[in-house]
Structure 1
Amino acid sequence: MTDAAASSAVLVARAKRLATRMRGERQTAIVPAGNVAGRALTTVIAIMTFLAALTVGTVSLVSDTASRWQNDISDEVTVQVKPAEGIDMPTALETARQIALQTPGVTGASILDQAATSRLLEPWLGDNIDFDALPVPRLVIVSIDTNDPPNFAFMREELKEAVPEAELDDHRAWVSRLVTMARTVVLIGVFVLSLVIVATTMTVVFATRGAMSGNRHIVEVLHFVGAQSGFIAREFERHFLRLGLMGAVAGGSVAIVLFVLIGYFTEVNRQTPQADQISALFGSFTIGWTGYAGVIILIATVATLTALTSRLTVTRHLAEIDMISPVEN
């Protein structure tokens, strides 16, 4: 028996053993479970899933923050009283507070004391601020009725007449820019997420083609001895579903742990001035249940996409074999 004939006989024998799986017998899988290419693909999918999960978490955080900013502008406005020559700051602040309280649509007003003001400015001016030496404006926080907001133009006129140094700020222009920026970040995040998904799909396609090339003769012999295309495709689908699920779970889990750690350290350091500024922008810096749900959905999507992509690639390859075989015959 020649070497070529012996090799063909071995391939046919192995193909027949694999084909018996259709009758429920336990045999070796078509695609080796622990080869180097499989481990490399699992690592790539884990990295891709980690990056995608970071994108999902960031988009969720920014989206929630934008919503909170929009709610904040409907809940509160501030009256800023600037220091001037001869002004009695406590009296001016109390006058501004009383005018705000007397305005229809206002539900409450409070003066931000020197300690709170000093804390807000501590990251930039230090913790020993001399309010007599520095022209630091003072604030009155005004709560408004969101269902029946006050007439801001009327309030401005009343404040200017009673306290010329007072200025009403409804934050709408500033927050509008931040919300626009947040929505832009969300769109960019969705775009990046789409790129990661496309890159993952292409990686799986190339990995499947590589596995097909490495097992080409076995697959072709299996196909010729009667194994149905669906059976062969399911073998590859199960193999790549396992790889995709392992990689996606690993990458998503690392991302979730990272988000939990960031939220924990932010909470622990909440009492520092820097943490106050971060909390003012991003709240507690946690992605919330929607972010975690998004990561879990992403894990399932990546695993499913990996399996379906491999199945479609194998099915297409077997269809090409069927088209070539009649021509060769």
Structure 2
Amino acid sequence: MNRTASPSPAPPQSPLPATLRRNAPLVPTDSAASRALAAVIAILTFLAALCAGAAEIVASSADQWQGAVAQEVTIQIRPSPGRDLDADVARAEGLAKGTPGIASTRVYSKAEAERLLEPWLGSGLDLSDLPVPRLVALRLTPSGPPDLKPLRASLVEALPGVASLDDHALWLRRLSTMANTFVGVGVGLVALVLVATGLAVVFATRGAMAGNREVVEVLHFVGADDDFIARAFQRRFFRLGLRGGIIGSVAALAAFAFAGLAAGAWRSGPAGEEIEALFGAFHIGWRGYASVLLIGVIASVVTGIVSRLTVRRFLA
């Protein structure tokens, strides 16, 4: 009597690797390497945003300084033996008031002129025996810079060797050069940080390609072309770059907000007044905010483009 043999149970199947499971992403974004890359992009974006914001602060402060200085010129009257200094000051002020384009004049007293020397000579000194020049500040009309050549010629004719007119042109050129240099250095640092971001993405992409070599070979076997694989890597790395860029940009904005609050708290002291005079209230303005956010977007775009190019070069 023949008995039908019962089928033997199928051997248990081992679970597929995570990269080969159904609906599994080609490039996992939750791995330790992906999180590390997102952290690196966030740090680099934060540094680049700080450079861009600092450059914007310096540029805005320089514009304010130039605008304030360009609206004022100064007549300097030097003491001379045998001359009445007060009469020379009054004569120079009268010539300035009669010049078109001068809105107002202000004569600095002897005590005020001596106080202007305290940052260089120190306070508490008796300067009565020193030939401290007197100053007449001229406020220009907002309609535009007037022609100061007639006033300069009148001062030379009326007060030869005593009075001189300073339009601060040399100081303005130096200030503009300094501000442009600082902004150029900031732009260069931002470019270097973006280059470093691209290099980090290159190494991360090559590591991901090496770790997913079997998957790439299977995709090639079933007919997937290089462009399909490159797009998959680009999307994944773009998301990593966008995550890191957003974190870095938000951290930079928080740092500038904290610096503004700290500057406001220190404003009551002498150090705070000097900091505010140099850098303002650490307010980067809408251009600064836009540049910080733009750097985050650029970092994510650079991440996606570099990963795509690296994959195409790897598969070639």
Q: TM-score, length-normalised on structure 1?
A: 0.76
Distance in 1 separating the partners of 2:88 and 2:95: 11
Corresponding residue for residue 77 of structure 1 = 73
Distance in 1 separating the partners of 2:272 and 2:113: 16
Distance in 2 separating the partners of 1:301 and 1:86: 69
Measured after TM superposition, the shift of residue 141 of structure 1 is 2.1
If each structure's helix is expressed as a fraction of its own residues, which one has the higher value?
1
Contact 2:73 2:165 in 1 (8 A): yes
Q: TM-score, length-normalised on structure 2?
A: 0.79
Larger radius of gyration: 2
Distance in 2 separating the partners of 1:111 and 1:45: 57
Distance in 2 separating the partners of 1:186 and 1:78: 29
Corresponding residue for residue 153 of structure 1 = 149
Q: How does 1:204-219 map to 2 (within 5 A)?
A: 204-219=201-216
Partner AA of 1:64 in structure 2: S
- Does the alignment pair 1:244 with 2:214? no
Q: How does 1:117-196 map to 2 (within 5 A)?
A: 121=117, 123-126=119-122, 128=124, 130=126, 132=128, 135-145=131-141, 147=143, 149-160=145-156, 161-162=158-159, 165-196=162-193
Partner AA of 1:100 in structure 2: A
Give the secondary structure class of the aligned counterpart of 2:173: helix
Measured after TM superposition, the shift of residue 100 of structure 1 is 1.6
- Provide closer, same or farther for how the CA distance between residues 316 and 151 of structure 1 changes in structure 2, counting only shifts above 3 A: closer
Distance in 1 separating the partners of 2:221 and 2:174: 65
Q: How does 1:1-329 map to 2 (within 5 A)?
A: 15=20, 17-18=21-22, 27-82=23-78, 92-112=88-108, 121=117, 123-126=119-122, 128=124, 130=126, 132=128, 135-145=131-141, 147=143, 149-160=145-156, 161-162=158-159, 165-227=162-224, 229-318=226-315, 320=316
Distance in 2 separating the partners of 1:177 and 1:304: 38
Partner AA of 1:170 in structure 2: D
- Provide closer, same or farther for how the CA distance between residues 101 and 125 of structure 1 changes in structure 2, counting only shifts above 3 A: same
Give the secondary structure class of the aligned counterpart of 1:140: strand
Contact 2:80 2:162 in 1 (8 A): yes
Distance in 1 separating the partners of 2:265 and 2:121: 24
Aligned residues: 303
- Provide closer, same or farther for how the CA distance between residues 45 and 157 of structure 1 changes in structure 2, counting only shifts above 3 A: same
Q: CA RMSD in A?
A: 3.4
Identical aligned residues as a percent: 45
Measured after TM superposition, the shift of residue 302 of structure 1 is 0.5
Tell me whether 269-278 or 187-196 shows the greater mean CA deviation: 269-278
Measured after TM superposition, the shift of residue 266 of structure 1 is 3.2
Tell me whether 207-216 or 161-170 shows the greater mean CA deviation: 161-170
Contact 1:81 1:137 in 2 (8 A): yes
Give the secondary structure class of the aligned counterpart of 1:186: helix
Give the secondary structure class of the aligned counterpart of 2:165: strand
Measured after TM superposition, the shift of residue 293 of structure 1 is 0.7
- Provide closer, same or farther for how the CA distance between residues 163 and 111 of structure 1 changes in structure 2, counting only shifts above 3 A: farther
Distance in 1 separating the partners of 2:75 and 2:54: 33
Partner AA of 1:74 in structure 2: A
Residue ranges of structure 2 left out of the alignment (5+ in a row): 1-12
Tell me whether 86-95 or 214-223 shows the greater mean CA deviation: 86-95
Partner AA of 1:34 in structure 2: D
Partner AA of 1:265 in structure 2: A
